[in-house]
Chains A and B, each alone.
Chain A
Amino acid sequence: MYTDKVMEHFRNPRNMGEIPNADGIGTVGNPVCGDLMTMYIKVKENRIENIKFKTYGCGAAIATSSMTTELAKGKTLEEAMKITRASVADSLGGLPKVKMHCSNLAADALHAAIEDYREKTKK
């Protein structure tokens, strides 16, 4: 059902946890639907210096969260905004069709965290 890459990220998720004084926080999903994820980012000189996630959901939800943090770490905010659901799925070697919509929300959570950061630092 899942690719080896998905299972590898499910087994060993990267950057799991919270950042206590995060510069931006983004949460998407709904526990009623079975998926909820929060992304925490620390920004330094317009780059994502640190990123962590917490996810409630299926294997795909956890693996896409993990992969998104890997893709985003070290990127400029503009580059990170270009990470999409499709590019996350591609990096994992693909996802089952039914999971593309409901469990592949991590890129959205990342974008929400960046927007939260921009909102907070707006003068």
Chain B
Amino acid sequence: MNSQKERRICMDFSAGKPVDPRIIDEMLIYMNSSFGNPSSIHTLGQEAKKAIEKSREAVAKLVNAEEPGTIIFTSGATESNNLAIKGIANRNKNRGTKILTSSVEHMSIVNPCKLMIRKGFQVVFLPVDRFGLLDLDKLETELDDNTTIVSIVYANGEIGTIEPMKEISKIVHTKKAYLHVDATAACGQIPIDVQAENIDLLTISSNDMYGPKGVGALYIKKGTSIEPIIQGGGQERGLRSGTENVAGILGFAKAAEIAQNEMHRHSKRITKLRDDLIKGLIDPIPHAYLNGHPTQRLPDNVSTRYSFIEGESILLSLDIMGIYASSGSACAAKTLQPSHVLLALGLQPEEAHGSLMLTLGRDNTQEHVDELKSVLPNIVKRLRDMSPLTPKDLKS
């Protein structure tokens, strides 16, 4: 086993990505010689300010924002999502107190929404179908003049399903509500155009496109009524006070540039690996299923599930082989609850427990895919041999 432990195959890139080596040197300059505070008048400060404004242009370009000033840098996707929900709902509460979102959102949407319920707002978690696609009829019926914000994920990072954003946007804008889109998992993998898709606010994450962790952005369409959630020195047009993370922002922008140039080629290659992996992890194994949509799917996402066994045991078994993966099982979660995303698809908890979530990255190769295809059937078989559950236990 020791020789196998030395091999490291990461297939959990949505949890964390390496920083693209091409951007690290440039980041270092802004931690080193160009260490100025962008708010300072002197040359050192202005150097930093210039770097931030150039970065803003690059991020704006990636999502085709109308102007760089629409990009507000934050500490990451969680902060961007919090700013969007709280900043819009609170600023517009005289106009309405209803928030619509989906039942397959990240916890950084779910928990701010739950907080807003405690503060007297009405929140509706809209259902999805068994593939994770938003119920558009339900969106239409719930949307009313009291609704100020609709927040829908561009593509869910756990099951990979890409939402029909143009249709969603069309419906949302029949009323005076703002559309916020969490593009954390999608941005950098598939093209996003906030103008063509008529998106009012968009969450973008740096690390998800091989930039440094701890940086993100919120695109806010010009003219949007929003208030800050952090008060202080008034940086980022007053919407995000605090001295800017200059090196991080610069790294984020470089990553955005690289993503824009290489997205097409990278996604094409990864999609091929994805489809091969999905086939190889389902076809040879009985009672194995795909989570999420078969084609409306992020290039990097492979989410499967196996009856009669539990996900954490699969992860540990893979880890022993030097392969790193993730699961929506309760036992693999801090909360001891199975993933709310898998339950929203209509899965039973015991089905969700058997999930295996893989997210591919630039480093993955066909050899990695072949390796996983060769080891997983045996892991599943071993755990099933150990399990008291059998096909007889399946609910009819």
Interface residues of B, count at CB 8 A: 25
Pairs across A and B, CB under 8 Å, 16 listed? A2-B316, A7-B320, A10-B313, A27-B388, A31-B350, A31-B389, A34-B310, A34-B353, A55-B386, A56-B308, A58-B310, A58-B312, A58-B329, A98-B336, A102-B336, A103-B331
Query: How distant is B386 from chain A, measured CB to nearest CB, in Å?
Result: 6
Which listed residue (B308, B320, B331) contacts A58, Cβ 8 A? B331
Query: How distant is A68 from chain B, measured CB to nearest CB, in Å?
Result: 14
Question: Which residues in B have some Cβ–Cβ distance to A below 8 Å?
Answer: 1, 308-310, 312-313, 316, 320, 329-332, 334, 336, 338, 348-350, 353, 385-389, 393
Is there an interface contact between A62 and B388, defined as CB atoms closer than 8 Å?
no
Is there an interface contact between A54 and B393, defined as CB atoms closer than 8 Å?
no
A37 within 8 Å of B (CB atoms): yes
Of the listed residues B1, B309, B313, B393, the one surrounded by the most CB atoms of chain A closer than 10 A to its CB is: B313
Query: Please, which residues of chain B bring their CB within 8 A of the CB of A62?
Result: 313, 386
Given contacts A11-B320, A31-B389, contact A57 B350 (CB under 8 A): no
Given contacts A31-B389, A33-B330, contact A56 B309 (CB under 8 A): yes
Question: Which residues in A have some Cβ–Cβ distance to B below 8 Å?
Answer: 2, 7, 10-11, 13, 16, 27, 31-38, 54-62, 98-99, 102-103
Query: Please, which residues of chain A bring their CB within 8 A of the CB of B387?
Result: 36, 54-56
Tell me, in angstroms, the Cα distance from A31 to B348 when the chains sit together. 10
Tell me, in angstroms, the Cα distance from A55 to B310 when the chains sit together. 10
Closest 8 CB pairs of A and B: A58-B331, A58-B312, A54-B388, A31-B350, A56-B387, A34-B353, A59-B316, A38-B388
Is there an interface contact between B388 and A55, defined as CB atoms closer than 8 Å?
yes
Query: Please, which residues of chain A bring their CB within 8 A of the CB of B332?
Result: 58
Tell me, in angstroms, the Cα distance from A32 to B1 when the chains sit together. 33
Is there an interface contact between B389 and A59, defined as CB atoms closer than 8 Å?
no
**Interface SS of chain A:** mixed
Of the listed residues A16, A32, A58, A102, the one surrounded by the most CB atoms of chain B closer than 10 A to its CB is: A58
Query: Please, which residues of chain A bring their CB within 8 A of the CB of B348?
Result: 32
Is there an interface contact between B388 and A36, defined as CB atoms closer than 8 Å?
yes
Is there an interface contact between A13 and B386, defined as CB atoms closer than 8 Å?
yes
Query: Chain A: which residue is nearest B312 at the CB level?
Result: A58
Query: How distant is B241 from chain A, measured CB to nearest CB, in Å?
Result: 36
Tell me, in angstroms, the Cα distance from A34 to B330 when the chains sit together. 7
Query: Please, which residues of chain A bring their CB within 8 A of the CB of B320?
Result: 7, 11
Which listed residue (B329, B334, B388) contacts A98, Cβ 8 A? B334
Query: How distant is A92 from chain B, measured CB to nearest CB, in Å?
Result: 14
Which listed residue (A34, A36, A55, A57) contacts B349, Cβ 8 A? A34
Of the listed residues B309, B329, B353, the one surrounded by the most CB atoms of chain A closer than 10 A to its CB is: B353
Of the listed residues B320, B350, B386, B389, the one surrounded by the most CB atoms of chain A closer than 10 A to its CB is: B386
Query: How distant is A83 from chain B, measured CB to nearest CB, in Å?
Result: 20
Given contacts A32-B348, A98-B336, contact A57 B330 (CB under 8 A): no
Tell me, in angstroms, the Cα distance from A7 to B319 when the chains sit together. 11
Query: Please, which residues of chain A bring their CB within 8 A of the CB of B330?
Result: 33-34
Query: Please, which residues of chain B bring their CB within 8 A of the CB of A61?
Result: 310, 331
Which listed residue (B1, B316, B338) contacts A34, Cβ 8 A? B338
Is there an interface contact between A32 and B388, defined as CB atoms closer than 8 Å?
no
Query: Chain B: which residue is nearest A32 at the CB level?
Result: B349
Which listed residue (A32, A37, A59) contacts B313, Cβ 8 A? A59
